[in-house]
Amino acid sequence: MELLESKTLNNLARAYAGECQARTRYEFMEYGARKEGYACLAEIIDKVAYNEFNHARMFYTYIQQASDKTIDNVEVCAGYPFKEKWDLTENLRLASEDEKKEAFDIYPAFAKVAKQEGFKEIERLFLMTAEVEKCHSMLFEDLFNQMKTGTMYKRKVAMKWKCAGCGYEHTAKSAWQECPLCRAKQGFVMLHLNDNAE
CB of 79 to Fe ion, least distance (A): 16
Nearest CA among 74, 81, 76 for reference residue 102: 81
User: By 3-state DSSP, what share of the chain in percent is helix, strand and coil, each rounded to 5?
Assistant: 60, 10, 30
**Ranges within 130-169 binding Fe ion (CB under 5 A):** 133, 136
Q: Give CA–CA dist 115/132, Å, rounded.
A: 20
* CB of 133 or CB of 141, closer to Fe ion: 133
CB of 51 to Fe ion, least distance (A): 6
* CB of 25 or CB of 162, closer to Fe ion: 25
Q: Which residues pair with 159 in a beta bridge?
A: 172
CB of 189 to Fe ion, least distance (A): 25
Q: Give CA–CA dist 42/57, Å, rounded.
A: 22
User: Is residue 52 part of the contact set for Fe ion (CB under 5 A)?
Assistant: yes
* CB of 107 or CB of 188, closer to Fe ion: 107
Nearest CA among 44, 88, 59, 65 for reference residue 188: 44
* CB of 117 or CB of 133, closer to Fe ion: 133
- CB atoms under 10 Å from CB of 178, counted, come to 12
User: Is residue 14 part of the contact set for Fe ion (CB under 5 A)?
Assistant: no
Question: Please, are residues 16 and 55 in contact by the beta-carbon 8 Å criterion?
Answer: no
Near Fe ion by CB under 5 A: residue from 41, 55, 62, 142: 55
CB of 133 to Fe ion, least distance (A): 4
Which residues contact Fe ion (rule: CB under 5 A)?
19, 52, 55, 99, 133, 136
